[in-house]
């Protein structure tokens, strides 16, 4: 592993431990040349996962796109970056655990919204308005009523 400080190619592992999700190993390293300590993360390389977009096109799964959407929806809201990254991690884990090579953007969006509604309702509405492409106010109002009912402990699907 190349040292980020002196760019020497030899380092030794000082400490290794699994991250919370158990899918990544965190390694603390020390450069054998300059003694600088740094952290690396090691992940299992998963098989490529294709996302089927609404127009039928396919592209490789990109967690950064989900994170960008979350950042935009949570702008000026009290949602920590760590919370958004946890949502992305959870969504990616759910999608990969399906065992499929292809997944629709619809399913990914639903997974994101399931997690986001519990973090911040305003960010959820913002994300849903873009994701679901509300056609008119009645659809938007219905979504708001569902959130209010959920907050009050009622089910509006009856």
pLDDT in tens, 117-135: 899 989 988 898 887 776 6
pLDDT in tens, 29-78: 999 999 999 999 887 766 789 999 989 999 999 999 999 999 999 999 99
Q: Would you give the DSSP letter of residue 47? A: P
* 140: Cβ contacts below 8 Å, ≥ 6 apart: 129, 134
Helix H or strand E segment including 51 = strand 50-52
1-17 as b/e: b if 16+ CB within 10 A: eebeeeeeeebeeeeee
Q: Is there a contact between 111 and 91 (Cβ–Cβ < 8 Å)?
A: yes
């Amino acid at each position: 592993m190349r040292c980020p400080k002196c760019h020497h190619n030899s380092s030794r592992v000082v400490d290794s431990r699994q991250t919370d999700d158990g899918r990544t190993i965190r390694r603390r390293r020390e450069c054998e040349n300059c003694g600088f300590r740094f952290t690396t993360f090691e992940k299992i390389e998963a098989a490529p996962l294709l996302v089927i977009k609404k127009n039928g096109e396919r592209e490789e799964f990109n967690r950064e796109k989900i994170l960008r959407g979350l950042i935009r929806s949570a702008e000026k809201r009290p949602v920590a970056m760590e919370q958004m990254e946890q949502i992305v991690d959870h969504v990616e884990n759910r999608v990969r655990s399906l065992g499929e090579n292809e997944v629709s953007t619809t399913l990914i969006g639903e997974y994101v919204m399931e997690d986001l509604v519990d973090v911040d309702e305003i960010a959820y509405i913002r994300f849903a308005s873009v994701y679901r492409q509300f056609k008119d106010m009645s659809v938007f109002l219905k979504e708001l009523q569902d959130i209010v009912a959920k907050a009050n402990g009622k089910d509006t699907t009856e």
